[in-house]
Structure 1
Amino acid sequence: MTFTTLQPRPMHLFSRIATAAALAIAAVCAPAHAQSDYPTKKPVTLLVPFAPGGGNDTLARIIAPRLSQILKQTVLIDNKPGAGGNLGTEYVARAAPDGYTLLIASNQVTIDPALGVKAGYRIDRDFAPVGRIASVPMVLVAHNGEPYKSLPEFIAYVKANPGKVAYGSPGNGTPQHLAGEVFAATVGSRMTHVPYKGTAPAITDLIGGQTQVAFATLASVLQYIESGKLTALGIAGQEKSAALPKVPTFGEAGLKNYEASLWYSVVVPANTPQPIIATLNKALVEAMANPAVDQQLVKQGFVPKPTSPDELKGLITDDLARWSRVVKDNSIKVEQ
């Protein structure tokens, strides 16, 4: 019988093994440590995928200062317009999933797939929900020099003059664009769509008379309605607006099934760690609960509606299905 004597291993081998084990443990612990330190590394960027002046931008500028206070970190606003909001949205989709790049997203992101809009992202695949911020009704506004001064007069004019009325929007595939297409299909006529790179330039041209009407968020045009620069023809839905109680709804004009409103949310790149998402949602809900923030939102025509990440996820899923039905039922197509 042969016996084999085990030789003692060199100490430097054990040292290497111990070092490797320590590195492995550090690699596992590092992400958790980074998450617990969030957001101490650098400022947080809140990206607005439109030019300044629209609903996304207005919301960002109201909540960013309060988020900065809560997170104890600077929150910067970055406007990146283009391609109907898709340029900035795709930018965030490709950003590092570390919680330092956030997107103010409207429900346009649930409309684009139904329209077949070409985008380098999918809202249900490339983003993680943080929470809804608020909703806002749309209002049909007209240049003051137009012959129609009420919603019934406008409906009659559009029917009698198919294609003659030009309406501006923040871009192809935006909710404002779709609101116009659904309206034209509902009344059985046509309008000419003029896309812009954001709400502000669209409203500027409307005030200047380059276009005749616009379906705009109440937040983006309320000041121009109150100052008399634009005429509000109707709230594009079935519910009255507390900000414009004297303006009739589309339902009151006989369009009982018409509904156009926007909701706004905060989303982050997919694979952002859940602890970071939880931190951001907590900060967002706390910011929305601040009386000064709430007062500013309501004054601008918004209806504050903060949610959890799961609730926003459900809203996105439902909206994707809803807009698919709307586009199909109204035979709506968008030029790419």
Structure 2
Amino acid sequence: MKRPQFLRWLAASACAATLLPVPAAAQTWPARPIRIIVPFAAGGSADVYARFLAQRLPDLLGQPVVVENRPGAGAVIGTEAVAKSPADGYTLLLMSNTHTVNETLVPNRPYNLTRDFVAVAPINYADLILAAHPSVPANNVREVLKLAKERPGKLNYASSGTGTPYHMAGELFKSMSSTYLVHIPYKGSSGARTDLLGGQVDLMFDAVTTMVEQVKSGKVKAIATTGKQRSVVLPDVPTVHESGIPNYEATIWLGLLAPKGTPAPVVNRLNEAVSKIVSQPDVQQGWAKQGATAMVMNPQAFDKYVHEDIEKWAKLIKAAHIKAD
């Protein structure tokens, strides 16, 4: 083909590409209310941030956004409901890293994150804190590790249940420091927290925002926080990473998924809307006071992030032989 003919062909091809049909559903989306299913109980951080988005998304999408709580079976019930929903952008899943842990911990799930969902957008992450009862004779990570070795099989830590981010933070701590701590799982954070305050348990990994007032009042001791950098809420408390366990990081993060097959234009529009909301200075400043940091990624980057988190916890679960209750 001669060069002038080739250029004409190339131009015609480019024009034709721009005229490729976009699915009708994507063209008219959204034409009705959107649901965000939260597979956790009302009142928790996942529910709070889902409702925050539901308040702001209508301004950008032009349709109401409603939140529906479907807790139960370690987030399986609500997650399965979204996996079986039409892939039309009207039903979304509010996920957390509980889901990436469950990919390995709960082998008989009726869904698979990578097979049945498409990544939409991350929302935010929050650091945890390793807190100790005042009676525990340790004030930093090195002293906790020393105490654990001096009292083999006696030093313990509470969590809100097997497979939760609080439990996995403890298991990662144990694995990366080659230290044994006895895990005491509870059915929810409140019971674990109550027993930590009462001295029935020694340690607990908990949300910074939940524990900050207890630290300031002296009811618990702040041993370390779990993020890459120090928490804005507790800037004087060192991270586990800088306290003797290099590269340690364990946070709670949230994001949105949609059923596999949801049109890319719909996913991209949702991602743009969520990213715009979480990038607003007033949002980031307000979240920082709560110990949360906004996350902004395109769908492809968030998909990679989810896959890497699945792999991170899969290695730990298999190495530590962790089993679901």
Q: TM-score with structure 1 length normalisation?
A: 0.78
Change over 3 Å in CA distance of 1:296–1:48 after alignment to 2: farther
Counterparts of 1:114 and 1:48, CA distance in 2? 21
Aligned residues: 304
In structure 2, relative to structure 1, the CA distance for the partners of 1:118 and 1:177 (3 Å cut) is farther
Match of 1:50, SS state, is coil
Q: 1:215 aligns with which of 205, 210, 218?
A: 205
Q: Is the 8 A contact 1:70 1:287 kept in 2?
A: no
Match of 2:128 among 128, 131, 138: 138
Cross-structure match for 1:293: 283
Q: What amino acid maps onto 1:181 in structure 2?
A: E
- The verdict on how the C-alpha distance between 1:226 and 1:33 changes in structure 2, with shifts beyond 3 A counting, is farther
**Structure 1 gaps, min length 5:** 1-28
Judging changes above 3 Å, is the alpha-carbon distance between structure 1 residues 160 and 302 closer, same or farther for their aligned structure 2 residues?
Answer: same
Structure-2 separation of matches of 1:285 and 1:102? 16
Gaps of 5+ in 2: 1-20
**Structure 1 segments of 4+ aligned residues over 6 angstroms from their partners:** none
For 1:55 and 1:123, locate their aligned partners in 2 and report how far apart those are by CA, in whole Å: 21
Kept in 2: contact 1:140–1:213 (CA 8 A): yes
Residue identity (%): 35
2:324 counterpart residue number: 335
Write out per-residue CA displacement over residues 180-219 of structure 1, whole angstroms, 9 at most, x where no aligned residue. 122233342131231424x455445544555443222334
Q: Deviations over 1:152-203 (max 9, x none)?
A: 4433333334444453334322222111122233342131231424x45544
Q: Give distance in 2, aligned partners of 1:217 and 1:299.
A: 13
- Partners of 1:201 and 1:82 lie apart in 2 by 18
Residue number among 97, 100, 104 corresponding to 2:87 in the alignment: 97
Answer whether contact 1:52 1:200 (CA < 8 A) is retained: no
CA distance in 2, matches of 1:83, 1:144: 35
Change (3 A) 1:235 1:311: same
For 2:155 and 2:81, the matched residues in 1 are separated by 34
Provide the rounded CA distance (Å) in 2 between the counterparts of 1:225 and 1:68: 38
State the structure with more CA Rg: 1
Name 2:13's counterpart in structure 1. none
Q: Contact 1:158/1:191 (CA < 8 Å) preserved in 2?
A: no
Trace 1:1-336 onto structure 2 (pairs within 5 A). 32-42=23-33, 44-115=34-105, 117-144=107-134, 146-185=136-175, 186-197=177-188, 199=189, 202-203=192-193, 206-207=196-197, 211-226=201-216, 228-328=218-318, 330-336=319-325
1:134, CA displacement in angstroms?
2.0
> Helix, strand or coil for the counterpart of 2:306?
helix
Provide the C-alpha distance between the structure 1 equivalents of 2:290 and 2:141, rounded to a whole number of angstroms: 23
Task: Tell me, yes or no, if the aligned pair for 1:85 and 1:171 is still in contact at 8 Å.
Answer: no
2: distance between equivalents of 1:173 and 1:76? 28
Could you tell me how far apart the structure 1 residues matched to 2:323 and 2:85 are?
A: 28
After the TM superposition, which of the residue ranges 116-125 and 156-165 deviates more from structure 2?
Answer: 156-165
Give the drift of 1:116: 5.1
The 1:32/1:46 distance shift into structure 2, 3 A limit, reads same
